[in-house]
Amino acid sequence: MGRAKRKTAENPVLRVLEGPGEAARIARGDAPLVVALSGGADSVSLLHAIVRVRAARGAKPPYGLVAAHLNHGIRGTEADADEAFCGGLCQSLGVPFVAGKTDVPAEAAKTGESIEMAARRERRGFLAAAAEDCRDVALAHTLDDQLELFLLRLARGAGLRGLAGMAPVAPLDRAGSVVRLVRPFLSLRHTDLVAFLRAEGLPWREDSTNADDGPLRNRIRHHAVPALLEACGAGLPATLDRTLALLREDADFLDALAADGRSWAPGDPASALASGPVPVARRRVARALYEAGADPETVSLAAVERVRALAAAGRNGSVPLGGALRAKLEYGALSFEDGVPNDVPVPAGTPFVFPDAASLPGTGTCPDPERRLRVSPAKVIERPPRGDFAGRPVAATIRAGTLDGRRVVLRPWRAGDCIAVAGGRGTRKLSDIFADAKLSRDLRARAVVLADAGTGDVLWLPGHGVARELAVRPGDAILRLVLS
């Protein structure tokens, strides 16, 4: 045990994990931790170092760790070899290995994002899923990454928060995620990690796309960074590290002023975002975008200014925010939408046979490509919670047996659809219901209904009501439908 501690103290990479910072404390602790593992030198160093430090403190395999690797579907057999390498490494260390695969080029084509942005979004979603039983995800970002990111954002344009770079510990997203990203190596250079692996005789993988001068980030890495180091000296990265810490403190202070104990939500008056000093108003807009699910990397200063101008003008309209995101002002309320073109049809659902109520011991799920319908028996009639027409979680109560064995489908609403709502008068067109609710065109396009697969009759308009034939009567056994 003593020899392991001395080796830790003598090695700069391991010594960082024994340092005073919160990121290092989390990494060396005994709480469950996901380690993002690409197979490159940085992430391989991180996994080895955390295992080494936790073992020196008495931990045994699997050391409270899970290694997560995502194949982005970009580099073919090379990426498959990376995954195999990561799996073998984890097996040798006794660390559980979770692998995933996605098609980033297809995602980018669908959303209009760059390959880099789509990869980042897919990666973060994968890590969030991998961290289901953990609070923290460790990433191997280095001081080199900070320098490249600073220059990249400077070239593209960014405010104080963007230029401040990555924090050692931060939520997975700025909408209040409970999963934290932990970066214990932000004070280290990439060369420190490579030297650690070589001294220990530990292999890693090289990503061939890193040599491509096409992406702006690669050009910054290959040309701008070396030129800056030559001109300013090798101490530049450490100076930048201290500067970014100061910028983050200033950004945190301004963010606190913008929050002021309140949280803006879509549907609130747009004027609430545009009021007050400009720096504070900008942060309110950015915070609203984060809470609406926007990727922080797509929230540029230009995008924030477009939203601020739209909110201040007070006139109906919409503005692009980069990638697939748009801001829309309607009836004085501001919303943020994913920008899926209106001419792209929502895929039709697949008909399924509704489960027999008598065979439901607890909760059953009816599958659908776009939505999930959960069905469960209920003992008392509950008032359905408020929802909307666009597929957010909504619920309904129906009389048990009315749909038993019936072929139904969750599908987009169609022109001409009608429903005779329980408790209402007569039959109404869905288009009239949407008009009375002042529903925007985009939200109408996303609305779904539960319908009879044979006749096409609408049985339930989520967020509004169920058909009269499904209505509950005194003494009836009932079922609860929840759509998400």
Report d(CA 226, CA 224) in Å as an integer. 6
Return the amino acid letter for 410: L
379 and 445 share one domain: yes
Q: Is the pTM of this model over 0.95?
A: no
CB 257 within 8 A of CB 283: yes
13 and 143 share one domain: yes
277 and 185 share one domain: no
315 and 413 share one domain: no
Longest CA span, the chain: 83
> Is 228 inside a domain boundary?
yes
CATH of the domain at 134: 3.40.50.620
Report d(CA 482, CA 385) in Å as an integer. 10
Count of domains forming the chain? 3
CA-angle at 465, arms to 459 and 469, nearest 5°: 45
User: Between residues 213 and 220, which one has the greater pLDDT?
Assistant: 220
How do beta strands 180-182 and 317-320 pair?
A: unpaired
For 343-376, the pLDDT digits (tens) are 333 344 566 666 665 555 444 555 544 455 666 5
pLDDT of 415 strictly over 80: yes
182 and 141 share one domain: yes
Round the average pLDDT of the chain to a whole number and report it: 79
> Is 189 inside a domain boundary?
yes
User: Between residues 440 and 201, which one has the greater pLDDT?
Assistant: 201
Pick the range with the lowest mean pLDDT from 1-5, 161-165, 438-442: 1-5
CB 284 within 8 A of CB 334: no
Range of the domain at 283: 260-337
What is the DSSP code (8-state) at residue 426? S
Count other Cβ atoms within 10 Å, centred on residue 474: 5
Q: Residue with structure tokens 């301004």?
A: 254
> Is 250 inside a domain boundary?
no
322 and 448 share one domain: no
214 and 277 share one domain: no
Count other Cβ atoms within 10 Å, centred on residue 363: 11
Four-point Cα dihedral 5, 199, 97, 15, nearest 10: 40
What is the DSSP code (8-state) at residue 221? I
Task: Describe the strand order of the beta sheet including 65-71 as a list of residue ranges.
Answer: 97-101, 65-71, 33-36, 136-138, 180-182, 169-171
Pick the range with the lowest mean pLDDT from 83-87, 109-113, 143-147: 109-113
Structure tokens of 229? 């180091």
> What DSSP letter does each residue of 101-145 carry, written as one string?
E--HHHHHHHH---HHHHHHHHHHHHHHHHTTT-SEEE----HHH
How do beta strands 136-138 and 169-171 pair?
A: unpaired
> Is 342 inside a domain boundary?
no
Report d(CA 339, CA 312) in Å as an integer. 22
Count other Cβ atoms within 10 Å, centred on residue 174: 19
DSSP helix/strand/coil, 157: coil
Give percent of the chain with pLDDT exceeding 70.
Answer: 75
Report d(CA 11, CA 4) in Å as an integer. 11
For 142-163, the pLDDT digits (tens) are 999 999 999 988 887 777 888 8
Q: Residue with structure tokens 């995101």?
A: 325
Helices 41-56 + 77-93 axis angle, to 10 = 10
Structure tokens of 136? 């923290």
Identify the domain boundary among 285, 312, 337.
Answer: 337
CB 35 within 8 A of CB 67: yes
Structure tokens of 351? 């008909």
> Is 477 inside a domain boundary?
yes
115 and 180 share one domain: yes
43 and 144 share one domain: yes
Report d(CA 17, CA 395) in Å as an integer. 48
286 and 211 share one domain: no
Count other Cβ atoms within 10 Å, centred on residue 100: 17
317 and 380 share one domain: no
285 and 202 share one domain: no
> Is 43 inside a domain boundary?
yes
Report d(CA 263, CA 272) in Å as an integer. 11
> Is 429 inside a domain boundary?
yes
Report d(CA 142, CA 400) in Å as an integer. 59
Confidence of residue 103 (pLDDT cuts 50, 70, 90): confident
For 229-266, the pLDDT digits (tens) are 999 998 999 999 999 999 999 988 888 887 764 555 55
How do beta strands 136-138 and 317-320 pair?
A: unpaired
Q: What is the pLDDT of residue 276?
A: 75
CA-angle at 149, arms to 146 and 155, nearest 5°: 145
pLDDT of 174 strictly over 60: no
Confidence of residue 404 (pLDDT cuts 50, 70, 90): confident
Structure tokens of 17? 């994990």
Confidence of residue 283 (pLDDT cuts 50, 70, 90): confident
Q: What is the pLDDT of residue 384?
A: 35
Nearest to 295 by CA among 173, 177, 122, 160: 173
Q: Is the peptide bond before 168 cis (omega within 30 degrees of 0)?
A: no
Structure tokens of 154? 């400077």
CA 107 to centroid of chain Cα atoms? 14
> Is 389 inside a domain boundary?
yes
